[in-house]
Structures are given as structure tokens and as C-alpha cells.
Amino acid sequence: MSINLTIIEKYLRENKILPTVWCPGCGIGLVLKAVLGAIDELNLNKNDIAMVSGIGCAGRMPVYVDFDTLHTTHGRALSFATGIKLAKPKMNVIVIMGDGDAVAIGGNHFIHTSRRNIELTAIVINNFIYGLTGGQFSPATPLDSLATTSPYGNIDQPFDICRLGEMAGASFVARSTVYHLKELQKFIKLALQKEGFSIVEALSNCHINYGKRNNLSKPIDMFNWFKNNTTLKDEEGKIKRGIFADKNIPGYYKQYQELIKRAKLCQR
Amino acid sequence: MKEEYIFLSGNEACAEAAIKANLGFFAGYPITPSTEIAEILAERLPSQNKIFIQMEDEIASLAAVIGASIGGLKAMTATSGPGFSLMQEHIGFAVMAEISCVIVNVQRLGPSTGQPTSPSQGDVMQARWGTHGDHPIIALSPSSVKEVFDLTIQAFNLSEKYRIPVILLMDEVVAHMREKLKISTHDIRIYERKKVKLTQNEEYYPYKNEVSKVPALALFGEGYRFHITGLIHDQAGFPTLRIDEINDWQDRIFGKIENNLDEIIQYEEEDLEDAETVIISYGISVRSAQAAKNIARENGKKVGLIKLLTIWPFAEELIKKVSKKVKKIIMPELNRGQLVLEVERNACFGGAQVIRINRLDGKLISPKAILDKI
């Protein structure tokens, strides 16, 4: 895929020296490309975008982009973003999280932000592992996978992040992979346009800390794995891509405006 | 000048004062004995187009408060011991990122679930050192409903002025007792956040090493497109590993407090001129200390009182000075001896004898217990 220079010039911070902190071949850069591509397609004003992240490899994304950016604590990015959105309702608030960040330490905030259906867009970059700390299993690591803290194979049942968000009440939930980059960008674009809380799970390759222990040690191995093991249809034994939820329900901020009206009537 | 008299509990006074201070955002989680603050604000804020949100826990509450403050709203949360423990990481984040916010901790007997409806002054050291890493902090401690009102406003003012989280350490009795409160709008000074002013072509540095050591923080959405992180950062806000930048950062975040101790540290003195014994107290224990001092004076004993309103940063110079003047310092507090450690550390300069009075069975220290030590 060719590198779109205009997107780099338009949306990356000039003073941030590349390369990024990510390992060569890391999928997070591709997710960044899809996010910026979607923003560009929608022609959003840079001054109206806040990018908020937690801790981990994915959490380093905001430093590179030319928006208002907030790098928070591990697992709590959605809660910080909730405060920003309520204070600055006109901003598009995009929250970048990894799998451990979003559904392990941040699992409570993930389900409650979904339940509240507040107008944020969460991008969960699921690379099945804690990458920055060197390859420990996460709540998204497949059963039997090897990791530094599951040297005999993982016995913890993984979460289905999309189903979790869907059941908890998010208005839009979708999943794609870094191999299916155009599809991923399309879902992110839909998510950014959706009222309420939208979640896009991007399956991504950590060939360094996940792949090498699980016979997928090159980026291409993991891309092929995404190609062969995910599907837009319902196929037994494969991971489903596509849109899991697309509901027209009011977001929290909109509901709060109704609450304000009610409160004013009561206090009159 | 408008004056009103109202009869309020400490928790009610805290909520009223926060509204007077232009609170724009409250996020919290129910916990005894602080819950009334959330209940009042849930009722009052929406009709003023302000935000009340009940979060899923105290961690999320303080995170949302910090987020709202970055969006330009004066923001606070209120909790008690267990919730205060959960907030510690984000107190550190607010110190590091220099985000204004107010955290009310209505202290109850601990540790753990402890005794939710009993008063305590057990979180004094947690307020100072609860979050990891060396850091400055401001903590205020009221002893009456009037002081709850005044110090809540003061907490917002100091927090906005110095870009630091300010902790209001109340306790169960101060929170629930009712007293007459005279509010004079004339006396209320509200500090509004400094706005960014740049000359043409000047770049914005949210952490600029300027003389005041407190650069103005731009708001998200204003077009500055800047970065905030919990990592140690340079003047532009981006992570740094450079030793010179780390030292500059450190000098500035400590310096902004250390250079302004005269404004930040508040205390009141009573009958100190001829005192041979001085009772030093803060929070609810002040009330017993005051009674004991007055009875002692009636009996001709030369006893004075120092009431500490700011407990962090600690009034070191005051204690050094006083310890040279008096023979005896008595320090009552509802813990096993926390702030007295600071008193002892500083009193050794003057040589006054320091006597501790401690209680942590959920009851207050009686004036008699203090009189017995005079």
C-alpha cells in the first residue's frame, strides 16, 4: 500500500521525530493510518479532535498526531475522555486503547462507557498481548497461546471485545484487522459519524511479543493468519469481522441536555 | 453588600461553596460520609447548565474530573477513605500534568471499610504521600461549617492558581454537624483560571519554565493542539529523558508551591502572646482544643492555640518559631500520631516538649483529655 504523503503532512506533528516507538512492522502504525484516513475522508477540523489514550504500545499514538492529545493512566482513558466530552461537547473525542488497557485494567470503564453510550469513539487495538512489557497474556489472548506469563499455554478464556461492548449498550460496534485496512478505515469512518459510543476493534499484529512464541514470527505470518482466520460471514472456528451493533439510540450528552430541561422545569 | 444567614451541615456548606466558586463539573461515586455532597450537586448543577455525573467508581470519577478540567471547567469530586485510596493514582496524574481539580475526602475511621459513620483524621499522611513518587500537594482542613465553606472556595482558588490538585480533608463530624453560617458575597473572592496570551508567532508551551512557574494552561478545543501526559515531559508537554529537562521540570513543580508558602499556608493564632503552652490542632480536634484553652485561661494558665487550616504544605517555619517561645506543645489528633510527626520534627529546633493526644475509636478527643495534659 502506498504511503499517502498528504495525510502525513496534514495530521502528524512536524516536531515529532520518526520513527515511532513501535517495532518495525507493528500493526499500530496501520491503525493510525486508518484513523487518519477516516478523519481525512470526513474532513474533520483538527482543532475539534481530541485523541486520548491509556498506557501501552497503543497508548503512544497521540504523541504523533497534530490534535489536542492526552496520554492518561493505564485503563482509564475512557473516563478522562468522558470528562473532556462533557466539557467540550463539540469535539470529536477519539480514544485509543490496547486490549489489556481496554478490557483488563479498563474493563469496568469499558462496559460502563458502553452502558452510558456517551459520544466517544473507541479504537481498541487488539494484538492479543501486553507488548510494551514484553509479552504477557491479556484478556484477549487466545486459549493455549504461549506468553511470558503463560509458558505452559494460556488457560484464561478470552473476551470477545465486540460482543462485550455490544451487550453493554454501545450504539456502534465493529471489528476488522490491519490486513483488511480499507475495511477497517470504513468502520472507523462509520464510528466517527455515529451518535453515542462507538467501538472499533482492530486486530493487529504483535509479531515480536505474540507471534514469535506462537509460530507467527513475521508480520506477513500474522497478516496471513488474519486473512485465513477471520470472516465477514458466520463460519465456525473463525473470528467474525464486520458490524456487530448499529443502533440509533441517543447518546449520553444528548440525554443530559434533556435532563437539564427537566431540572429547570422542576426548579422553576 | 449581600449577606445571608443559613443553617447548614458541613457537606451542604461544601456543595454550596463549590457552586459559589463556579464549579462546572462534579463526578463521584456514593460513599459514606460524603454522599450528601454528590446528592446536593446532582440536584443543583443541571439547572445551571453544569454537569453532574455519577461514575462507576472513584478511579473513573477523578479521571473524568481531570478530563473536564482540561476542557476548561472547574471540577471536583468528593469521597471518603476507601474511595480516596482508589483516587491516589490520578492525584499523581493531576500533579504531574498540572491539572486543577479539588478532591474532598470526608475522613472516616479506617483502614479498609473501617467504621463508615465515625470521624477520623487518619488520612493526613495519605493526603501527603498517597500517590507514588515525590511530589508537592496542597491539603486544607476545616474545623467548622464556616471553614468548610471558606476552605472549599480556597481549595478551588489555590488549585486554579497553582495548577495542582487540592485536597479538602474534612471528617465525619465536620461533614454532618450543623452550624449557622453567614455568607457575605462581598467577602468571596473567586480566582478564575489564567488565560493563554501569546504574542504573534509565539509558540505555546503548556509547561513553560517561566518566572511565576505556573504557565497558563490552554483548553482542549481552542486550537493549540498540544499534548498532555503523565510521563515526565519537556516544556511543550512531550515526554523527555533529558536530565536538564527533568531537573527543570522538577524545580518548577516544587518551586511553584515552595516559593508561595506565605500565600498557601493559612493558620490562626489565639492567645499566643504570653503562652507557655500551646495547643496545635486542625480539623474537628480544634473544637476540643479551643474549649480546653478557654477553660485553662479562665483558671489563669498561660495557654495558646494554633489552628492549622493548611496542613500540606506544612507550616514548618511557624512551628520552629513557636517552639522557641513556649515550653510545651500539645497536639490532639484523631489518629495514632500523624501530623504531630511534622510538629516534632520542627519543634526540636526550639526545644519545646511535644505531647501527643491520640484517639481512634470513633469518638472525639474531649476538652478534659487535653486539659489533663496542660
B298: cell is 479562665
Task: Please check whether residue B284 is in contact with residue B143, taking contact to mean a CB–CB distance below 8 angstroms.
Answer: yes
C-alpha B131/C-alpha B88 separation (Å) is: 5
Task: Please check whether residue B165 is in contact with residue B156, taking contact to mean a CB–CB distance below 8 angstroms.
Answer: no
Q: In this complex, do A83 and B227 lie within 8 Å of one another by their Cβ atoms? A: no
- Say whether both B277 and B178 belong to one domain: no
Percentage of chain B surpassing pLDDT 70? 99
Written as one string, the DSSP assignment of B67-108 is HHHHTT-EEEEEE-HHHHHHHHHHHHHHHHHT--EEEEEEEE
pLDDT at A95 over 60: yes
**Alpha carbon separation from A11 to A91, A112, B60 (Å, rounded):** 16, 31, 30
Q: In this complex, do B230 and A16 lie within 8 Å of one another by their Cβ atoms? A: no
pLDDT in tens, B1-24: 567 889 999 999 999 999 999 999
Q: How confident is the model at residue B186 (pLDDT cuts 50, 70, 90)?
A: confident
- Say whether both B180 and B329 belong to one domain: no
Q: In this complex, do A87 and B223 lie within 8 Å of one another by their Cβ atoms? A: no
Of B25, B49, B89, the CB nearest to A87: B25
Domain assignment of residue B251, yes or no: no
Interface test with B, best of A39, A88, A267 (most B CBs within 10 A): A88
Chain A: closest CA distance from residue B132 (Å): 13
Place of cell 510527626: B341
- Say whether both B33 and B133 belong to one domain: yes
Chain B: closest CA distance from residue A173 (Å): 21
Of A16, A73, A91, the CB nearest to B93: A73
C-alpha B66/C-alpha B304 separation (Å) is: 41
Q: From B88, which residue of chain A is nearest by alpha-carbon distance?
A: A73
> What CATH number does residue B61 fall under?
3.40.50.970
A177: cell is 484487522
- Say whether both B65 and B157 belong to one domain: yes
Three-state SS at B12: helix
Among left, alpha and beta (phi > 0; psi -120 to 50; other), residue B98 is left
C-alpha B200/C-alpha B196 separation (Å) is: 13
Chain A: closest CA distance from residue B77 (Å): 12
Which of B142, B162, B187 is the last residue before a domain boundary?
B187
Q: In this complex, do A66 and B225 lie within 8 Å of one another by their Cβ atoms? A: yes
Amino acid A3: pLDDT:
62
Task: Please check whether residue B7 is in contact with residue B179, taking contact to mean a CB–CB distance below 8 angstroms.
Answer: yes
Q: Which of A121, A120, A117, A141 is nearest to A129 (CA)?
A: A141
pLDDT in tens, A122-133: 999 999 999 999
Chain A: closest CA distance from residue B19 (Å): 16
Q: Does A88 touch chain B (CB under 8 A)?
A: yes
Chain A: closest CA distance from residue B243 (Å): 19
Chain A: closest CA distance from residue B354 (Å): 42
C-alpha A196/C-alpha A252 separation (Å) is: 7
pLDDT in tens, B130-166: 999 999 999 999 999 999 999 999 999 999 999 999 9
Written as one string, the DSSP assignment of B237-253 is S-B---HHHHHHHHHHH
Domain assignment of residue B203, yes or no: no
* CA B91, B94, B95, B97 torsion-angle sign: positive
Q: Which residues touch B34 (CB under 8 Å, ≥6 apart)?
A: B11, B28, B78, B79, B80, B83, B104, B105, B106, B170, B175
> What CATH number does residue B367 fall under?
3.40.50.920
C-alpha A205/C-alpha A23 separation (Å) is: 11
User: Residue B282, class by beta-carbon neighbours within 10 Å (0-12 exposed, 13-18 middle, 19+ buried)?
Assistant: buried
Amino acid B36: pLDDT:
98
Q: Does A44 touch chain B (CB under 8 A)?
A: no
In angstroms, how far is the first alpha carbon of chain A from the final one?
61
Nearest-Å Rg of the Cα atoms of chain A is 18
Of A63, A67, A76, the CB nearest to B238: A63
Amino acid A2: pLDDT:
58
Domain assignment of residue B197, yes or no: no
Backbone angles phi, psi at B373, to 5 degrees: -95, -10
Task: Please check whether residue B329 is in contact with residue B278, taking contact to mean a CB–CB distance below 8 angstroms.
Answer: yes
Question: What integer best gives the mean pLDDT of chain B?
Answer: 96
C-alpha B160/C-alpha A99 separation (Å) is: 35
Task: Quote ipTM for the complex.
Answer: 0.97
C-alpha B180/C-alpha A229 separation (Å) is: 71
A-B CB pairs within 8 A amount to 136
- Say whether both B49 and B146 belong to one domain: yes
Q: In this complex, do B60 and A112 lie within 8 Å of one another by their Cβ atoms? A: yes
Rounded to an integer, the average pLDDT of A172-200 is: 98
pLDDT in tens, B236-290: 999 999 999 999 999 999 999 999 999 999 999 999 999 999 999 999 999 999 9
Domain assignment of residue B205, yes or no: no
Domains and CATH numbers, chain A: 5-267 (3.40.50.970)
Question: What integer best gives the mean pLDDT of chain A?
Answer: 96
User: Count of domains in chain B?
Assistant: 2
Amino acid A4: pLDDT:
64
Which of B155, B187, B219 is the last residue before a domain boundary?
B187
Place of cell 492549622: B308
C-alpha A95/C-alpha A70 separation (Å) is: 9
Domain assignment of residue B305, yes or no: yes
CA dihedral B217, B219, B225, B226 (to 10 degrees): 30
Taking contacts as CB-CB distances below 8 angstroms, the residues of chain B near A86 are 25, 51, 53, 64, 67-68, 71
pLDDT in tens, B23-44: 999 999 999 999 999 999 999 9
- Say whether both B14 and B122 belong to one domain: yes
A180 alpha-carbon distance from chain centroid: 15
Rounded to an integer, the average pLDDT of B40-57 is: 98
Domain assignment of residue B355, yes or no: yes
- Say whether both B49 and B179 belong to one domain: yes
Taking contacts as CB-CB distances below 8 angstroms, the residues of chain B near A259 are 46
C-alpha A127/C-alpha A99 separation (Å) is: 7
For chain A, positions 46-75, list CB contacts with chain B under 8 A. Answer: 46-48, 50, 52, 62-63, 66-73
Q: In this complex, do A87 and B46 lie within 8 Å of one another by their Cβ atoms? A: no
Amino acid B250: pLDDT:
95
- Say whether both B56 and B149 belong to one domain: yes
Which of B159, B187, B215 is the last residue before a domain boundary?
B187
Amino acid B1: pLDDT:
56
Q: Which of A248, A251, A247 is nearest to A117 (CA)?
A: A251
B342: cell is 511534622
Domain assignment of residue B213, yes or no: no
Beta bridge partners of A147: A150
Of A46, A262, A264, the CB nearest to B225: A46
Q: In this complex, do A83 and B231 lie within 8 Å of one another by their Cβ atoms? A: no
Rounded to an integer, the average pLDDT of A169-184 is: 98
pLDDT at A150 over 70: yes
C-alpha A153/C-alpha B90 separation (Å) is: 35
- For residue B366, the enclosing domain spans 270-371
pLDDT at B187 over 90: no
Domain assignment of residue B175, yes or no: yes
User: Residue B257, class by beta-carbon neighbours within 10 Å (0-12 exposed, 13-18 middle, 19+ buried)?
Assistant: buried
Rounded to an integer, the average pLDDT of B200-226 is: 94
